Structure formats: C-alpha cells, structure tokens
Chains A and B, each alone.
Chain A
Amino acid sequence: MEHRHVDTDVAAKTEAIVGRLKALEGPLLPILHDVQEEFGHVPQAALPVIAEGLNLSRAEVHGVVSFYHDYRDQPAGRHVIKLCRAEACQSMGGDDIAERLLELLGIDWHETSSDGAVTVEPVYCLGLCACAPAAMVDGDVIGRFDADAAASLAKAVRT
C-alpha cells in the first residue's frame, strides 16, 4: 500500500515535470534532470510516465537513463564525492588516495555509507588535470586532492 502511494506520488510529480518541459526540443534529458532533482534519483516508476508523455516506448527511456551514469536508480547519500580516475589523476597517485578515502569511509565504489551520509563514485576527468588528483564534492571541484584533504573530507561529511 505504502509502495503504491509512493508510485502515485512519483507519477503525479513526473507528469507535472513532463508537462512543463515537453515543448523543448529534445526534452528527455532536461526532464530526467528535473526528475532526479525532485526525487534525488530517477525512480523506475517515473519512466513509463515519461514515455507516455513524450510518446516514446518504455524501452527507449530506459535506454537513455541507463546510458548516463549520473542518473541514479536510487537516492545517493547526503554528500556525493566523485573521484577522478582518469589518466592524469592516476599518474599523480589518485588511485592510492581514492583507496584511502574509501577505507576511511568504510565503503566501496558506488556505495553509500550505512548512515546515509556519503556516496562515492568514480568520474573520468573533471577537466582539472593541471591540479590532479581532482575530486568533486556535492558539485564543487577540488584540486590537489591529497591524503590530508581526503582525511578532512572523510571527517567533514560525517558531521
């Protein structure tokens, strides 16, 4: 019953977002952004509503959502840390620092800590190669992300 209630809520809110944005040229990505903004993720129950609204098949919407890693299928932690794993950051020891941070937080890639405080995700280049290793915390980029920075970040996200 509870679940059903959530689904109706998702459907109604998604429908409103679709109604607002469907006139755009190429409206699917903006709609998905707003849906993620609304729910913190893109709930599965939203996809048929979007498909119906844009006259697409469910498969097509699923194909697009699953293509982009940034669309989540479940809510993230309160903070989202993205660590760059691309070449420049790797060459500046990014992997070691990433490992250290994960250890401090007690989670693995793509996981959310059990207290819901933080999610860690890999990212492939933040365009900050000159200041590698780079990270992104809740949308803000951080350069020269070293061991100390990792330690203080691990502490900060927990408080």
Chain B
Amino acid sequence: MTVTPPARPLWFTGDALGPRLARHTLTLVALALLLLPLADLSIITRDPWTELARMARGLAWPAWGAVESPFHALGLTISIALWGTLAGMVLGFPLALLFSKSRLVRASCAFLRAIHELFWALLFLQVFGLSALTALAALAIPYAGIFAKVYAEILEETPRAPGDALPPGVGRLVRFVYTELPLAWPRLAAYTRYRFECGLRASVLLGFVGLPTLGFQLETAFREGRYHEAGALLWLFYLLIASLPWWSHRRLLPVLAIGGAFLLGPWPSVDSALLWRFVSQDIWPQPLLAWDWPGLITWLTRIPDLAPAIGNTLLLGLLGTVGSLLVALVMWPLASRHFGNRVSRLAGSGLLVLLRSTPELMLAFIFLLLLGPSMLPAWLALALHNGALIAFLIARHADSLTPGMTHLPASGRLAYELLPRLYPSLLALLYYRAEVILRETAILGMLGVATLGYYIDENFQYLMFDVAFFLLLVTAAFNIAVDALSRRFRPKEAPLEVPGMDA
C-alpha cells in the first residue's frame, strides 16, 4: 500500500499557528504585489552608479577638516535630545498615571503620538522660529504621548503581590512609591534610555527643517554633492550612536544636561499675542471660525485632491511593511550565532547596526539623490531601516534559543529549528512597526514623495497654516486607524519580550 502525500500544501488549510501565520504573510505579500503597479517606482537619474561610487568614496575618505564647528553641532544635537526627552518624561509621567482612567487622556496621547517629530517641528517653527524652543517642543510633545502610553503599560504590568502584602491603611501615594514605582523602575529606565536614543536620531533629523543640529550640515553637504564632508558627518553620527553606552552614564547625564543647556540659547522672545493668534486663528479655516458652513465647504473644495496622496501614503506604508518583512527574513541569519563564521557574523551585525541607526529620512534622502524622486527611494529606505531593526532583534532572540538537533545542515536548522520558533515574534514585531512605518511614510513626503507629508510641507511653505494643520489632522487620523488595525490583526500568540519596541 502506498501513501501519497497530500496534494494541497499544508499551509493552505489547518488551524495551527504555523499555517495561520503563513496564510497571513502570503495575504500581505499578495496584496502588496497586487498594488505594486500603482506605485511609481521609476529610476529618474541617468547614472545612479557613478553617484553611488562618489558617495562611497566620500564615506571611505571623509574630509574631517571640512566640517564646520562639529562640536557645537554635536553638543546641540545631544542637548536637544536630552532636554526634549526629559521634558517629554515630565509631561508624560503624570499622564501615564491617568492613562487607564481617562478615555480623553488616551485619545489625546494617541493624537500626540500620531504626528511625527518633524511635523511638530514644522508647526512650532511658525511661532518660535529656528530656535531650540521649536526643537524641544517638537521632541517633548510626541514623546509625552509615547511615555504616557508606555509608562502606563509598564506600571500596569508590575506584579501585584507586593502591594497585596502591605498592611491595610496605606495611602495611594505611599503605596505607589514603595511598591509600584520600584518594581517598574528597571523597565521604566530601560525604556527612557531607548527613547533618548530615538531622541538623538530625531534631533539629528531636525536639521532637515533648518535647526542647526548635525542633520543640517549633513543635508547641506549631501545636497551640494560635497560627499567627503557628508561622509565625515555621517561617521560622526555613527560614532555618536555607537558610543552612547559610554557617554550616557547615569552620573554623566546631569553634567551633560547642564552643560548642554548653555548651547540651547539664544532663546526667542515669545510674543504671546502672536502665539495665541496662531493657535486660535491661523491654523483653523476662516469659515469655521465664522461658523460659515457653506464657506467651509468651499474651503474644503479648494484643498488639492487628497485621494492620491492618501493612496500613496497607505501604499507606501504597506510596501514598506512587506519590504521590512522580506529584508528581516533575509538578514537576520547574518547576525545570528547559528550561521556563518565569526567574520561573516561581525560584518552582518555591523551592517544591521548601521542600517538600524541611520534614520529612514536620511536613508531615503541618500537614495533620492541616487535614484531620483519616485516612491522607490522611500520604499527602499523604509524596508532597509525597519527590516534591519527587526532582523537585529530577531537575531538576538535566535541566539537565546538552543536547537534540539545539533548536527542539522544550515538550511535545516533555519527551516525546521529556528524559523518556526522565531516567526511569530518576527510578525508581531512587524505589526508593531507598521504604525511607525506609516508615520515615517508621511514625513518622507518632505523629500518630494507625493504622500500626505508632501502637501503638509508645501502648505507650511506657502504659509497656508489652516490647510497644513488640516492635513496634519488627517495624517494623525490615518495613523491612529492603522495602529488600531495592526493591533487587531497582529498575532496574539507571540508576546513581545523586546523592550522599547513600542513606538
């Protein structure tokens, strides 16, 4: 008697986790492939390879001497990140305590989070000008929303036993300070540290809107084709990120903060009347303030057709997510102890760290110079950066696993031992990242990709604050919706044990 294997592949049917995740992934990939023709992926520059070679030469032979006052730019970058994170913490912590109690607080925090640091910067730029106040507010406000949510989650997950063990009659404040706070402290500190690292990257990016951080010189050097200088600045940035564990020591931070505070000036003189006018009038459509409903409809019709921009934003978000998945799948073995030799692993981890610490906007900017303005540079940047980030975390997860069968060939180890165990976490991380990807999709518009961010940037430039603010609200609404969707669809079986993947 012969037994024939089932004709249909097993992933096609079945309710187990494996087949379900496989179907899930394939649906996602199929959707991306189906919509791919709608994306503009053309390469516009005539000779990207020559340009790439010039950039590589610039990176290989950086011109250190050409960088203008690098220490001031570095100091300002650190100082903005430090004070911005600190202000976000101070604002976010009280919100975290109210987070589970108040729907209003949750909704406002979701809104604050949904708008990217750079868009906040564009908004505050109109009132505070090119000053440290703009930079600090641009970091502190979204971070307050993020801290509120993450701190609240961490506090909620503290063990209940120590609080239950307290004798009766202990007040809420004392209970919090003696049990919940010390129990949550290590995770709170770890997350704050991670957020500070994000703050550093964001602080660099603020240079792209004109604030004099490292990013400003970087953008100018790249845009003007001075690649040797750009190379030096890029190395400076990598050194800054790589040396973070050494200079961000707990005892050193207060010194850095106080020293850095002197770099933040000169402070702008805030005209409160102007500020109030901006908040109460400039950013709202005139017809709305006058309660003129027909006028509001005409106002809405004058807004350029948003459908393509929204379509592009969502499409780029989807492509970026699927691209990240593929990049992560291909790249994680490069940095895992289960594959290759010491040299290949070192090179693999180096590549992942490099891609993961370069902000998307910067990657996209470089690809844009290489390939010309289409969706392709943005897609590549999103896929490479987020894919590398996920791959790095998955490789660390893989390193903590011990395969049951030791002498399998590499392919068998990958397909039978490791991937089945890692894939649920990989997908969970991807879904977590999807919201971040969408938020960054919007800011890539600032580079000329026709997403919502493109129109936001444009309207700010034309001083049409009402339209820009309206588009910001639309972007935020989409981010919140996609966050809710990804929360709904992400596999519940894989708990995320990786700290700091939240936002």
Same complex = no
Q: Which residues of A contact B (CB under 8 A)?
A: none
Q: Which residues of B contact A (CB under 8 A)?
A: none
